[in-house]
Structure formats: C-alpha cells, structure tokens
Amino acid sequence: MIINSTRIGIIEVQEQELVHFPSGVVGLTDWQNAVVVPVPDLPLLNWLQFAHDPSAAFLLLDVQALYPDYRLEFAREQAQLGQDAKVYTIVKVPNGDFTQATTNLMAPIVIEPPASFSDKRQETSDPRRLAQQVILHDFNYPLRHPLFVEEAAC
Amino acid sequence: MLVLARKVGEKLRVGDEIEIVVVEVRGDVVRLGISAPRGVFIYREEIYAAIQAENVSASRIQGDLSQMKNMFTRERGEE
C-alpha cells in the first residue's frame, strides 16, 4: 500500500511492515495503522506515520538507548506483546523549537518485533505487527520529560 | 446517564465481561475494583485526558529534524 506523509513524502509499504494498534492510541481511536520510518542521521529517532491521514505522525524515541534505566519490562508486560517488543516514547517539539523538545515517559508505545522474531506470526493470517500505547502508572514518569538540558543550566 | 446506588461489596456488570465492585467508601473517596477482559483499558479520566492532549500536540510536530542531530551530539559529548 501507499502511505502519503506530509513530513516524509510518499512511502510504499508491504503489509508485514504495517504496525497495527487494534484500538488506536490513547484518545485517538482511529489511529490504527502506521509504519515506522527511520530518521536519517538520527539513529535514536523514528517517524511513526499513520496511514489514515498524511499529517498524522509521531516522532518516536528509542527510549532504552537514551535512558537505560527506563522500565521497559513494565511497558512490555502491560502491552503483552512479548519480551522482544520494542518500546518507544513520543517526542513533542513545541512550536518547532527543538531546544524545548520533551518526551512522554508516562505513556510509551510498544511494538511487536518484526515477523522473524515472533512465533505468533505463523499462527495468524494477519501479518501486521501489533502495537499499543500503554500507561506506566506507578513510576511517576512525566508526561513531558525534557530531551535536552538547557544551555543556561550548563 | 444511568445512576445506580450500590453498597460496599455490591457489584455492577457492564455487558457480559466487565465487573465493577465498590470496595470501600471513606469520606468523599470511593474505591472501586474493576475486572475487564484483555483489550479493554481502564484509565483515570484525568490521565486519559492528559495523554490524549499530549498525543494530539505531539502529532503536530514541525520543523527541520536535522537541527536535532547537533543537539544529541552535544548532549552526549558533555556526559
């Protein structure tokens, strides 16, 4: 299928590359199918471009790479997508000012690993990778954690 | 909206699979126990609303991401 994106242009996607949120993301129930696209030269970041609307996208952070202590195992447990599932957090950039970028550590996105890692794949006819946004209630993780320390504070 | 009175220990059923029990009432705080099948997510309303709003505002991201490259590099260089 072809996914049109206002940020990264036209993307051609095989069905097994699609990421499927059965009930959407929190508060956005029709955001159900998406594709993960790496950001050039920024190995910690990926776009999550949704299929239903060219402007519907999140910037995802490989949270483990930046915050090794993040409680990945609780996110995976809540999502029930297996121990190899990938955990990302959503990055917000207020008014295009990257110095003010924050990431949502409270409600990460958990995505099933690609087909070769998953046994489930052989049992079902749906080739899409399952995904879910979960809420980590018990760790006081902030909704807006600053990604970069301000210059003035250094 | 349907409004029902229940005593502590009494339950409500929403459809066939969701059960809500009044666990405790103390002053103006009511503790509820909820059993729901996998795939039905239960949120405190204010947290749901906050995450919804954060999702919406995060999805409006604009700008040239290559600016971030220098920032990650700088951040790491300082550690």
Look at residue A53 and give its three-state secondary structure.
coil
**Any CB–CB contact under 8 A between B42 and chain A?**
no
Q: What is the pLDDT of residue A151?
A: 54
Asked if the structure places residue B41 within a domain, the reply is: yes
DSSP B42: -
Percentage of chain A beyond pLDDT 70 is 90
pLDDT (tens digit per residue) in B21-68:
999 999 999 999 999 998 788 889 999 999 999 999 999 998 788 888
Asked if the structure places residue B19 within a domain, the reply is: yes
Is the pLDDT score of A152 beyond 60? no
Paired strand residues for B55: none
Asked if the structure places residue B2 within a domain, the reply is: no
CA-based nearest residue to A108, from A143, A151, A146? A143
Of the partner residues B55, B61, B63, the one whose CB lies closest to the CB of residue A26 = B55
| Amino acid letter, A73 | E
Q: What is the pLDDT of residue A149?
A: 75
Q: Determine whether the interchain pair B54/A143 forms a contact, defined as Cβ–Cβ distance below 8 Å.
A: yes
Is the pLDDT score of A124 beyond 70? no
The residue ranges of every structural domain in chain A are 2-153
Of the partner residues A93, A143, A148, the one whose CB lies closest to the CB of residue B63 = A93
Tell me the average pLDDT of chain A: 89
pLDDT (tens digit per residue) in A21-43:
999 999 999 999 999 999 988 99
Domain A2-153 has CATH 2.30.290.10: yes
- Domain with B16 in it: 11-78
Q: What is the pLDDT of residue A153?
A: 47
Q: What is the pLDDT of residue A126?
A: 84
Q: Give chain B's domain count.
A: 1
Q: Determine whether the interchain pair A42/B52 forms a contact, defined as Cβ–Cβ distance below 8 Å.
A: no
Q: What is the pLDDT of residue A129?
A: 93
CA-based nearest residue to A148, from A44, A49, A58? A44
How far apart are alpha carbons B35 and B43 in whole angstroms? 13
pLDDT (tens digit per residue) in A45-89:
999 999 999 999 999 999 999 999 999 999 999 998 989 999 999
Q: Which of residues 8-37 of B touch A (CB under 8 A)?
A: none
How far apart are alpha carbons A112 and A46 in whole angstroms? 15
The C-alpha of B51 sits at a distance from chain A's nearest C-alpha, in angstroms, of 7
How far apart are alpha carbons A23 and A27 in whole angstroms? 10
**Any CB–CB contact under 8 A between A56 and chain B?**
yes
Is the pLDDT score of A139 beyond 50? yes
Q: Determine whether the interchain pair B56/A27 forms a contact, defined as Cβ–Cβ distance below 8 Å.
A: yes
Is the pLDDT score of A108 beyond 80? yes
Q: What is the pLDDT of residue B54?
A: 97
What is the DSSP pairing of strand B11-14 with strand B18-26? antiparallel
Asked if the structure places residue B42 within a domain, the reply is: yes
Determine the residue of chain B that is closest to A23 in CA distance. B39
Q: What is the pLDDT of residue A114?
A: 80
